[in-house]
């Protein structure tokens, strides 16, 4: 019988996956950024400097590389979770990339995209909502009890959009993801499916410097993948009552974001503004 990852202590396995995620990101990042720049897929940052967009593709590349290495050492149920996690990353990375490449900022917000859809005009935002909702529904059906499918699907879909809402300033989306990961590690400590989130957290930590210094943008390509990972992991590890509270908070956040600017709300809070600026060139 081959050695399985569960032969290690949970903290040791988590450290291993975080390290692998960071290592692969450091390995892939320079070449990926160079490739994106060479292709001309660039945007101006807040200083007017032209930097690569969609660099968040590295999250899926690095995390799936970790999963490929770990897969032979996973017990059966964890192998299924690894495939589901990889599917979530791949699907939402692809949808985010479509939005980055072909998306228009003329219409923003969920209501704006749905309004265009009802008028017969398909936007990349509406496509992302429809296809992302379908993927969320599939993953919720495949990984949880049928009675919880609506809650789990909505949790996953809103988690995806939450990180997307944060991705308006250097480093903000990455910090939000890492904070969410820490909370999930604490809530689900000892559950082995957290190892996949650990690999992605390692990737984000290795990437975050270039984002904080406004040398690259993760784009929806990366933000959607981060949100999908948080949502799927929350479905797996949170107790039912806590999951309902988490979903309620997501709904409140989306209602607030439709009416107010999150950036303005963050700026009004000295603590949140300090955390938002921490480590970035806006400090």
- Report how far residue 16's alpha carbon sits from residue 24's, in angstroms, rounded to the nearest whole number: 12
Is the dihedral angle over the CA atoms 30, 171, 83, 22 positive or is it negative? positive
| 164 assigned to a ligand binding site | yes
Q: Which residues contact 227 (CB under 8 A, 6 or more apart)?
A: 92, 159, 160, 161, 162, 163, 164, 177
Tokens, residue 207 = 């990437």
Q: What are phi and psi of 227, to 5 degrees?
A: -65, -40
3-class secondary-structure state, position 20: helix
* 211 among annotated binding-site residues: no
Which tokens go with 197?
A: 């989130």
Instruction: Please give the C-alpha separations between residue 79 and each of 69, 72, 111, 235, 270, in angstroms, as whole numbers.
Output: 12, 8, 38, 17, 44
Sign of the alpha-carbon dihedral angle for 193, 224, 97, 30: negative
Tokens standing for 267? 């700026």
Q: Which residue has the tokens 């692998």?
A: 20
Which residue numbers belong to the known binding site for Mg(2+)? Answer: 164, 220
Which residue numbers belong to the known binding site? Answer: 164, 220
């Amino acid at each position: 019988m081959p050695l399985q990852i569960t032969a290690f202590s949970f903290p040791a396995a988590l450290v291993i996956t975080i390290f692998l995620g960071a290592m692969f990101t450091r390995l892939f990042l320079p070449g990926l950024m160079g490739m994106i720049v060479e292709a001309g897929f660039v945007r101006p940052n807040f200083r007017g400097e032209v930097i690569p967009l969609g660099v968040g593709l590295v999250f899926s590349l690095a995390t799936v590389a970790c999963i490929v290495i770990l897969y032979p050492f996973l017990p059966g149920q964890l192998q299924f979770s690894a495939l589901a996690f990889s599917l979530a990353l791949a699907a939402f990375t692809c949808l985010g990339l479509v939005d980055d490449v072909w998306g228009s900022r003329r219409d923003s917000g969920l209501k704006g995209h749905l309004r265009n859809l009802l008028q017969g005009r398909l936007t990349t935002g509406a496509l992302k909502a429809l296809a992302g909702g379908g993927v969320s529904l599939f993953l919720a059906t495949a990984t949880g009890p049928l009675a919880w499918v609506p809650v789990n699907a909505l949790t996953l879909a809103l988690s995806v959009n939450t990180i997307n809402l944060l991705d308006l300033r250097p480093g903000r989306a990455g910090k939000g993801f890492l904070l969410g990961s820490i909370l999930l590690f604490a809530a689900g400590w000892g559950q082995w499916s957290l190892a996949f989130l650990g690999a992605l957290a390692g990737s984000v930590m290795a990437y975050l410097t270039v984002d904080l210094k406004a040398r690259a943008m993760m784009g929806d390509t990366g933000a959607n993948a981060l949100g999908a990972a948080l949502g799927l992991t929350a479905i797996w590890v949170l107790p039912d009552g806590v999951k309902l509270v988490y979903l309620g908070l997501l709904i409140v956040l989306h209602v607030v974001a439709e009416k107010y600017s999150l950036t303005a709300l963050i700026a009004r809070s000295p603590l949140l503004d300090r955390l938002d600026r921490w480590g970035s060139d806006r400090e």
